Structure 1
Amino acid sequence: MSADTSKSKSQWLVIRETVSRHSKIILGTIPILIILTIWQICTTGSAESRIISPLILPSPLEVISPATIHAVWFEAELSRSIVASTMRVVFGFLIGCGIAFPLAIMMGSFSKINALFEPGTVFLAYLPIPALVPLTMSLFGIGETQKIMFLALAFMIYLIPLLVKAVNEVDNVYLQTAYTLGVKRWKMVQKVLVPIALPQIYQAMRMGFGVGWTYIILAEMVAADRGLGQIIIIAQRRAYVSRIYLVLLVIVLIAFLTDKIWQYGYKQFFPYKRAR
């Protein structure tokens, strides 16, 4: 019996074992079901008899009830809010990439430029993202520009270290070979460093775009006419707790679906790389 138990444990602890897609789905579903079960147990019964008050945590069935969905879809105009939040994330991402990409490429390619900008990027990396809200409000007011620029700065701060790391990880063998062939400095960057680092750059951008959805509530905290964050803020003020959790679920689903699109793009653009 002990031998069987030891063998069973060892099967779970095989280093870098290849797991089938079917097994991944089953294993990934187990913790979700456990969480949902515990959640339901803690929120079952009348408000007075529940382990956790419904003012703090509604039950899963209350979150996805027809009444909650109807209220969020029609009263809070969920579809328009999804479009508004998505546009803010996309524009903020494009601006953030437009700043981070050239700077990170230069830092990853040239050591002196890296030494020049690295202290500033390290400082920004430790800057709490919520602190950017009042900063962008003082610079851009409380309109749409402020929300987009807040997201752009958040994206930039997140992406620069990842993009620099992607360029730094290009093997020196490629550089030495290019130098031997007489490749000039800027051609080295354009034709060697960036193309080789591109799969890692893509993955960094994919992670950054996903993180952007965690910032959307902060971006829409102030004077947003619509947006997923705005729905959450209003629901919190009016104690519509189930609506808060429903919108959070919507944000997670949108982020999950967009990540799947990024994964599909990775397979199409870099078929020679194993998709992560």
Structure 2
Amino acid sequence: MTSTAATETSGSSRTGRRQRSVIPEPISRRRYLGIAVTSFIVVLAAWWLITALGVIDETFLPGPADVVRVIVETATSGQLWDDMGVSVWRVMVGYLLAVVLAVPLGVLSGSSPRAEAAIEPLTDFIRYMPVVAFVPLTIIWVGTEDTQKFLIIWLGTFFQMVLMVADAVRRVPRSYQNLGATLGMGRTGILVHIIVPAALPRIWDTLRLCLGWAWSWLVVAELVAATSGMGYRITQAQRFLATDTIIAYVIVLGVLGLVFDQVMRAAGRRMFRYLEGRS
């Protein structure tokens, strides 16, 4: 009897430990924002302290005040807004071209074994090729105008997007497809009315993540043979060791990427509100 009780106690304690180790429930929106803002403040304070104490020469790491001054000056002169406009245009065109082509191919690859065999090995092969190596080739192919920038951003996002969309489609439970077949739907009907809507939340997350990569490839696209844009301005600043301008533009790029990411995240919460509370 004592042994049984001890066993039950031991089992319940192990169960309790397992329950305590489970991932906690989501926190409130206000608390989330508070923690997020605090993390930014901590990084900013550490940056200010390092530069104020002279741990690193200001030539290599200027203080926050110097960077803010550059942002204000370039914004006042209009240079920052011009560079932002050009860069946003290039990112969105290259990214949207990737979306238009990658989503249908990903859906086809994820829903058809034959299409998967035809698309995924080749896509997987190309995605391991460094995009930077294509920069001189793209200049030879299409010149140095915006088309070359679009192509670099497209190359950096398209192949990853195809594979991730296909994976999102394959994650749709087989029971959903069986239900469609039970209702008398054909393969096209099951794909259009069941598989794609069920995979859409994951596809949207894929598009959001790939947009972040598009912003990363923007700088690569504008490093060579560019005469405008944020990446071009960073390259120009590097030649004169203007690290305050480099950091200022990098921060603005981060802010732009964060804004676009949060807009897509908010749009996803609105479109897929029915997923809230699902275990």
Structure 2-normalised TM-score? 0.86
- CA gap of 1:114–1:139, structure 2 versus 1, over 3 A, is same
Which residue of 101, 115, 139 maps to 1:137? 139
Shift of residue 226, structure 1, vs aligned partner: 1.4
Q: Where do residues 234-249 of structure 1 align in structure 2 (5 Å cutoff)?
A: 234-249=236-251
Which residue of 225, 228, 231 maps to 1:229? 231
Q: Where do residues 49-60 of structure 1 align in structure 2 (5 Å cutoff)?
A: 50-60=54-64
Whole-angstrom distance in 2 between the partners of 1:263 and 1:18: 16
Equivalent in the alignment of 1:268: 270
Going by fraction, where is helix more abundant, 1 or 2? 2
Whole-angstrom distance in 2 between the partners of 1:188 and 1:25: 40
Whole-angstrom distance in 2 between the partners of 1:174 and 1:261: 30
Equivalent in the alignment of 1:28: 36
Equivalent in the alignment of 1:9: none
Question: Are residue 162 (structure 1) and residue 164 (structure 2) matched?
Answer: yes
Q: Which SS does the other structure have where 2:165 is aligned? A: helix
Q: Where do residues 36-47 of structure 1 align in structure 2 (5 Å cutoff)?
A: 36-44=44-52
Question: Are residue 185 (structure 1) and residue 207 (structure 2) matched?
Answer: no
Contact 1:93 1:151 in 2 (8 A): yes
Is the deviation greater in 262-271 or in 174-183?
262-271
Structure 1-normalised TM-score? 0.86
Question: Are residue 17 (structure 1) and residue 25 (structure 2) matched?
Answer: yes
Shift of residue 97, structure 1, vs aligned partner: 1.1
Greater Cα radius of gyration, structure 1 or 2: 2
Shift of residue 70, structure 1, vs aligned partner: 4.5
CA deviation profile, 1:155-188 (whole Å, cap 9, x unmatched)? 2022112101110111101111111222112222
For structure 1, the residue ranges without an aligned partner over 5 or more in a row are: 1-11
For structure 2, the residue ranges without an aligned partner over 5 or more in a row are: 1-19
Q: Which SS does the other structure have where 2:52 is aligned? A: coil
Equivalent in the alignment of 1:203: 205
Q: Which SS does the other structure have where 1:264 is aligned? A: helix
Let me know the Cα RMSD of the aligned residues: 2.0
Equivalent in the alignment of 1:171: 173
Aligned length: 258
% identical equivalent positions: 29
Q: Where do residues 63-78 of structure 1 align in structure 2 (5 Å cutoff)?
A: 63-65=67-69, 68-73=70-75, 77-78=79-80
Whole-angstrom distance in 1 between the partners of 2:31 and 2:267: 24
